Structure 1
Amino acid sequence: MAVWAIGSVVFLLATCDTATETGGTTAGLPDVVDYNFHIRPILSDKCFACHGPDNNTREAGLRLDTKEGAYQALSENPGMYAIVPGKPEESAVYHRLVTDDETYRMPPVSSNLTLTDREINLITRWIEQGAEYKPHWAFTPPVKAEVPQDDGNGWARNEIDRFVLQRMKSEGLKPNPVAEKHHLLRRVSLDITGLPPSPAQIERFLADDSPEAYEKMVDELLASDAYGERMALHWLDVARYADSYGYQDDDIRTQWPWRDWVIHAFNENMPYDRFITWQLAGDLLPDASKEQILATAFNRNHKITEEGGVIDEEYRVAYTIDKTNTYSKGILGITMECAQCHDHKYDPFSQKNYYSLFAFFNNTLENGLEGLVNSGPSKTPRLTITQDDLNGILNFINKWDDQEQVSVSVMGERDEVRPTFLLDRGVYDAPKERVFPGTPESVLDFDSTRYAPNRLGLAQWTFSKDNPLTARVFVNQLWALFFGNGLVSTIADFGNQGTLPTHPELLDWMAVDFQENGWDIKRLVKQFVMSATYRQSSQITDQHRKRDPDNRYYARAARIRLPAEMIRDQVLASSGLLNRTIGGPSIKPYQPDGIWEITSPGRGALAHYVQDHGDALYRRGIYVFFKVTLPPPSMLIFDSSNRDMCEVTRQRTNTPLQALVMLNDPTVLEGARVFAGELLAEQADASPDTWIQTAFKRILCRDATEGELEVLQQYYEEEQQRFRQDSGEADKFLQVGEAPLREDIPAVEYAALMAVIHAIYNLEEATTRV
């Protein structure tokens, strides 16, 4: 918003009463207006585009994102100041906000931006109180706040609860009761392992009335190999993992051994600082092992072109940009990519900052183009994994039968430093001044006396005790997985345009606690799920809808639609079809004919979709083959990541297509058929209500109510009647899927029970974590 001299108008307005000018009131305003939590969000949304960090778009020479810029005399009228601390009537900004003259009002009418009376009153009070500027909250190191006192009612189970309860009460809310045991068991099992509890776990947990029953189950789930698969699913989104290269000539690549390493790392509870350091710079560690080098495949998961006619340097730069953006978004939680072409418009990141960060990744041995035809499933530099490796240091990689060795694209550093230049407007062939490896000063200076100017130095800087972002960002990512939303809801953006944390003291306490306890991920997860906050019922009351519709204050548990992969896994696990093999090459399950050929160009091994058979059809969703130009369609409909770039959180949508998937996907229908066959074979003398109750409990982990059971029994009878009238329909219905069909069961009973189980899979509760 441009500010210039407004002459005598200012002095006439300066004598006016401020409450009259704004037409507002100070009622409802905080006693102390804080720059970070009250003022910065307003200025960032309404002012920084024209008066922020970007020199190229700054109007009238005025900066409002720094106190130096806001307090200095206006360049076009040296006798006036944008902000005079303590004196709104002498502050040009104030008068520009309250004037009725549209030619002087800020933001300008043409911007389509306006400030509310409350926002104007907040700025007025802030100026009256001294207009104190503060560093952005996320760019100051977290401090372990004092844990609030226990209120004595016995609700809080750990420190998390005390912070949550304090905020809850300030909003006029109180916690929900504890969730029923069956709901809690299903919730914690899905959250920790991505799978529903087994029938044995259900019976054991429901029968255990000891105070330790829940914690014992949590420990059991954390010790499961399925834990690593569930946690890896999130990290594959961050790392943009896929089984093909992307771009037009989309061919196969073999990065799956890195995926196996991620699962292994989570299961071994590798500390987060080591987990990230190996991925950023494992190849630069002293006497780097093959495992440490394999971890660097994280950096090489970006799209890679195999098209003819491209310019090598253009794509080499594009790959380096991708690495830079993935690091800044996925690990630091900042939008550095906005500074690729110009200074950031909202955050204190210059274009020079961007290319200084880019310089850490610019010295790789990687090429922009490596061969035009059949260049192979990995690119230089690559790591070749042999059978000896599988028998030794890389024994966590699932063995394969059809080849003796596999190669993975990894990182490797040039001996001679490649110079890095700031690129004019981000164009690869428009270098300007040379820059050197460095980090944004607004976050934390890169101390070249402590850290080497390479990726290993960057990793060490990332985990400096003074780095304000790393711990906060990861804690927030995991919080979102377990509680439905982040304490900072803009999970990928901790900058000025990001949302403020709902519980800043809690976020900082957990961030510091995470560091103090060795970056222990399993410990952090257990803190989450052992809390009373996590264990609440998800029942929504009228007060919740009125006071906290988005559940920002956690007075209830969140109902979360399951991720795409978990919906598949839920069907496979409950039906008994699930192949629990860990790791190995990705698999191609059922998919509608012709989709690849019609919608996604490809060549070589991916020119046509070749479905797998046998046990491979029943592996977990994390192992489904991911083609960048056409992700698995049923998973895409349920909001899986596109994996073409770093994604730290998935959107959740509700569309009719999702209902169509659940009604028609062969995996869902086949699961219902196999489950029905098992029940009819193993409980041959039981009644239909017993079969239905058994299926209901295994899928939803609870008994059906009397009303639910009555509806499902009626549906069973209706389906029986329909299939009796046309036995051919029953036979046709039972043919779905490749799992063997039980020939010793009457088709009508078989198909009718299959239809009922299929209906249970289609319940909203079946695809929701409640």
Structure 2
Amino acid sequence: MYTRLITGLLSIAFAGLIISLPGCKDSTSSGDLPETVSYNFHIRPLMSDRCFACHGPDKNKVKAGLRLDIPELALGELKENKGKFAIVPGKPEESELVKRISSTDPTYQMPSPESHLPLLTENEIALVKKWIRQGAKFEKLWSFTSPKKAVLPKVKGEDWPKTDLDLFVVKKMEEKGLKPNEEADKERLLKRVSLDLTGLPPSLDLMDRFMADKSDEAYEKVVDELMNSPAYGERMAVHWLDVGRYSDSYGYQDDNIRTQWPWRDWVIHAFNDNLPYDKFLTWQLAGDMLPDADKEKILATGFLRNHKYTEEGGVIEEEYRIEYLLDKTKTYSKGIIGLTVECAQCHDHKYDPISQKDYYKMLAFFNNTPEVGYEGDISVSKPAKAPRLEITTADLDGVLSFIRQLEKDTMMVSVMDELDTLRKTYVLNRGQYDSPTDEVKPQPLSEVMVFDTTAYPRNRLGLAKWTVDKNNPLTARVFVNQVWQMIFGQGIVKTAGDFGMQGDLPSHPELLDWLAVDFMENDWDIKYLVKQIVTSATYRQSSSVSKEKLAIDPDNIYLSHGPRFRLPAEFVKDLILASSGLLVNKIGGPSVKAYQPDGLWEAATSGRGVLATYQQDHGEDLYRRGMYTFIKLTLPPPSLMIFDGSNRDQCEVKRPQTNTPLQALVMMNDPTMLEASRVLAEKLVKEQTGTEDKITKAFRLIVCRVPKESEKDLLNSYFSEQLGIYQSQAIDPSEVLNVGEFPHLEVEKSEAAALANVIQLIYNMEESITKT
């Protein structure tokens, strides 16, 4: 029996790590042709797959002088076939492109056999013909056109939608032959929304109140309660810490300590205070330049200073100063406007309309800070690099009251500042810091939106205003997509950091645009956006999935069932701490060093500075939320990294989700999990209840529902077996109970050890660390 249960434990643990594969791009290989064929959504993806290898943006690989990615060239006379045209608008029968893709002659057909690319299907050929017949209209990249709020679609299932966004979702389902799931049961729905809004499981009190509330408003009341919890800001902040590459050390070889955590406290405060997203961005990009700049707005600019810094002697100062500018530029472009621009550091972007000169014009906005590449040969790390903001204990009673405590009476945080005189910016030949060429002036990407110098100054404040201008086609779309991704596990645009030519097309373009416009119309209200999503019928669906739905939509791109995926790394720890009663509910403050295997830091350090050796914290610091775990860039927290936590060495807008044996082993052996099992067991043994009641309570705390009878039978049987082993002294119960630093309760050890093993089994259920 014991062997069978342990085998079951391993199976459950590994099963819990199974994750759906990511979605794929929309296909046009089957089904009816769209009424209006779009270049952006139907033709360009097809050409990108089959044509652009030889007739696309790579100038070195263009064949026959034909480029199909530029309208003027695609519609022009063929260089090697005078009098012929690849595309003749309105006349597919005269278009050489149609003749070639329709041909069966291997010496004439396209794609050619030597390209090893698949031929177009009959449906794809018909699609190209229809596009040409309709005028062969080329379109500006979809994400560079301003979003429009489409008319709400008419749908067959009129009773299902609860919010306007549901109309777009169910319309797409109907097109794909899908139907929505029934609503999830109340227990699972409560766990889902609690994890999504706070990163924590619901308390027993909340479970009981919600289950007892039979009113139509019961769910919305719970949503409001969770969003008003201080834990909401912590949950929302975790994603932004990834975007803002927050860490507690500088990186590079010495990787010494820094004190940027007050910026993290500000991010939590901003989400809890529901700071509108336009202000949230403006303060982080240029809070120091606002007319009413105060210490809070200046602190927000720490966002731009979270990158790595070198403290190694002998470095070339200008080389690293440029490295810091490159990082700021990448973080802004990927995290805020959703474009991959870094390749334009060395040459014109191959796919997107971003030249190398465009890149350095954007970098120029960040080039006027007094920040330097190296602050000098110092034996002890400065916890903040200049320019710095001084925070005093007096500030904690004023504008910075959201900061919980200071490590000293006065602290310094790295922030932004501007030079009195403009520093010149040059295009760097091949991206080399010491190879300046043409001088450029600050200007964001004109292909995205014109930068009106009469409305925007040529500085970071001007960049911020341009970014949050409601005519900017990217900013609202990108953030709405990131929030959608946080909740559903995958964005409407799967490539959340790439809205360019090589990024994925949105699965629901009308929905994305509707949400973006609606978000801006409602004053960039983040809580409004989040509530709109989690109160939708789309969100409330059961996560169960039929074989028929899996066959049609294996990745749930069309959202015909609820989200189901493993919790982010920090929230796995949070669930364990919260369910066991160990969690210390303190908001903000310095990062903490929890349990960690010996020797890891020492093996990945130069041996210099405050962080040369790992000095574990004790007491309540061991039981803080996962987001407060100390992040050393050269060796991020191993238990978080095993669960795909961000290593924070650069901007990250989407974490990978993997499943490895190490993840199951962490769940069975991590000291925090073992200690939580022991502590919860001791608390339950102290209670004057029967064994079945104790196990049921543990199950509810961890899995957030009442166990089924079959589950009760299995767990009770396992408890009895384990109790017999410990009572017979076949195994000393102290081997289970002597773990962790939390004080022990005076309880019968055999019962506590047996119950701790049962709790470990529950923690290792697939459902426990999965949002279902």
TM range (shorter): over 0.9
- Show CA shifts across 1:27-68 (max 9, x none): 744343221111111223444465445667656554322211
Partner of 1:226: 231
Counterpart CA distance in 2 for 1:233 and 1:756 is 31
Query: Does residue 1:747 correspond to 2:753, yes or no?
Result: no
- With over 3 angstroms needed to count, the CA separation of the structure-2 counterparts of 1:50 and 1:278, relative to structure 1, is farther
- With over 3 angstroms needed to count, the CA separation of the structure-2 counterparts of 1:432 and 1:767, relative to structure 1, is same
2:538 counterpart (527, 533, 543) = 533
Alpha carbons 2:725, 2:731 under 8 Å: kept: no
Partner of 2:263: 258
Partner of 1:694: 697
1:210 counterpart (215, 221, 224) = 215
Alpha carbons 1:299, 1:411 under 8 Å: kept: yes
SS at match of 1:305: coil
- With over 3 angstroms needed to count, the CA separation of the structure-2 counterparts of 1:220 and 1:63, relative to structure 1, is same
Query: Aligned partner of 1:533: which letter?
Result: T
1:134 counterpart (124, 130, 139) = 139
Partner of 1:21: none
Partner of 2:505: 500
Partner of 1:758: 760
Unaligned runs of 5+ in 1: 1-23
Partner of 1:768: 770
**What are the within-5 Å matches in structure 2 for residues 125-274 of structure 1?**
125-149=130-154, 151=156, 153-274=158-279
2:388 counterpart (370, 382, 385) = 382
Alpha carbons 1:48, 1:345 under 8 Å: kept: no
Counterpart CA distance in 2 for 1:759 and 1:405 is 47
- With over 3 angstroms needed to count, the CA separation of the structure-2 counterparts of 1:602 and 1:551, relative to structure 1, is farther
Query: Does residue 1:618 correspond to 2:620, yes or no?
Result: no
Cα distance, 1:81 vs structure 2: 3.0
Partner of 1:73: 77
Counterpart CA distance in 1 for 2:549 and 2:633 is 41
Counterpart CA distance in 2 for 1:415 and 1:272 is 29
Partner of 2:679: 674
SS at match of 2:444: coil
Alpha carbons 1:49, 1:345 under 8 Å: kept: no
Query: Aligned partner of 1:482: which letter?
Result: I
Alpha carbons 1:249, 1:601 under 8 Å: kept: yes
SS at match of 1:383: strand
**What are the within-5 Å matches in structure 2 for residues 89-108 of structure 1?**
89-97=93-101
- With over 3 angstroms needed to count, the CA separation of the structure-2 counterparts of 1:115 and 1:237, relative to structure 1, is farther
Counterpart CA distance in 1 for 2:314 and 2:105 is 57
Partner of 1:12: none
Partner of 1:32: 36
How many residues align? The count is 743
Query: Does residue 1:485 correspond to 2:510, yes or no?
Result: no
1:301 counterpart (292, 306, 328) = 306
Counterpart CA distance in 2 for 1:25 and 1:262 is 45
- Show CA shifts across 1:492-540 (max 9, x none): 1111111111211111111111001100000111101111111111111
Normalising to structure 1: TM-score of the pair?
Answer: 0.93
* Aligned CA-pair RMSD: 2.0
Alpha carbons 2:695, 2:715 under 8 Å: kept: yes
Counterpart CA distance in 1 for 2:437 and 2:585 is 54
Counterpart CA distance in 2 for 1:413 and 1:25 is 54
Partner of 1:116: 120
1:83 counterpart (58, 79, 87) = 87
Alpha carbons 1:390, 1:396 under 8 Å: kept: yes
Alpha carbons 2:257, 2:381 under 8 Å: kept: no
Partner of 2:24: none
Partner of 1:736: 739
Partner of 2:724: 721
Counterpart CA distance in 2 for 1:732 and 1:488 is 50
Query: Aligned partner of 2:757: which letter?
Result: A
Counterpart CA distance in 1 for 2:106 and 2:612 is 60
Query: Does residue 1:570 correspond to 2:572, yes or no?
Result: no
- With over 3 angstroms needed to count, the CA separation of the structure-2 counterparts of 1:27 and 1:159, relative to structure 1, is closer
Greater alpha carbon shift after TM alignment, 39-48 vs 50-59: 50-59
Query: Does residue 1:342 correspond to 2:347, yes or no?
Result: yes
Partner of 1:427: 432
Counterpart CA distance in 2 for 1:275 and 1:125 is 45
Cα distance, 1:392 vs structure 2: 1.1
Partner of 2:297: 292
SS at match of 1:511: helix
Cα distance, 1:155 vs structure 2: 1.6
SS at match of 2:720: helix
SS at match of 1:432: strand
Cα distance, 1:111 vs structure 2: 5.3
- With over 3 angstroms needed to count, the CA separation of the structure-2 counterparts of 1:518 and 1:714, relative to structure 1, is same
**What are the within-5 Å matches in structure 2 for residues 314-713 of structure 1?**
314-373=319-378, 374-400=380-406, 402-601=407-606, 603-683=608-688, 686-713=689-716
Alpha carbons 2:155, 2:170 under 8 Å: kept: no
Unaligned runs of 5+ in 2: 1-27
- With over 3 angstroms needed to count, the CA separation of the structure-2 counterparts of 1:285 and 1:426, relative to structure 1, is same
Counterpart CA distance in 1 for 2:282 and 2:690 is 58
Greater alpha carbon shift after TM alignment, 434-443 vs 530-539: 434-443
Counterpart CA distance in 2 for 1:113 and 1:295 is 50
Alpha carbons 1:48, 1:346 under 8 Å: kept: no
- With over 3 angstroms needed to count, the CA separation of the structure-2 counterparts of 1:88 and 1:439, relative to structure 1, is same
Query: Aligned partner of 1:715: which letter?
Result: Y
Pick 1 or 2: higher relative contact order, CA cutoff 8 A, min separation 6. 2
Greater alpha carbon shift after TM alignment, 147-156 vs 256-265: 147-156
Query: Aligned partner of 2:319: which letter?
Result: E
- Show CA shifts across 1:114-156 (max 9, x none): 4432444433432333211111111110111111246564221
Query: Aligned partner of 1:391: which letter?
Result: D
Partner of 1:15: none
Greater alpha carbon shift after TM alignment, 414-423 vs 263-272: 414-423
- With over 3 angstroms needed to count, the CA separation of the structure-2 counterparts of 1:107 and 1:754, relative to structure 1, is same
- With over 3 angstroms needed to count, the CA separation of the structure-2 counterparts of 1:78 and 1:375, relative to structure 1, is farther
Greater alpha carbon shift after TM alignment, 319-328 vs 164-173: 164-173
Greater alpha carbon shift after TM alignment, 270-279 vs 528-537: 528-537
Query: Aligned partner of 2:85: which letter?
Result: Y
Counterpart CA distance in 2 for 1:436 and 1:563 is 41
Greater alpha carbon shift after TM alignment, 66-75 vs 389-398: 66-75
Identity %: 59
Query: Does residue 1:41 correspond to 2:36, yes or no?
Result: no
Counterpart CA distance in 2 for 1:639 and 1:446 is 39
Counterpart CA distance in 1 for 2:253 and 2:542 is 48
Query: Aligned partner of 1:366: which letter?
Result: E
- Show CA shifts across 1:691-731 (max 9, x none): 10010011111111110011111111111122223366311
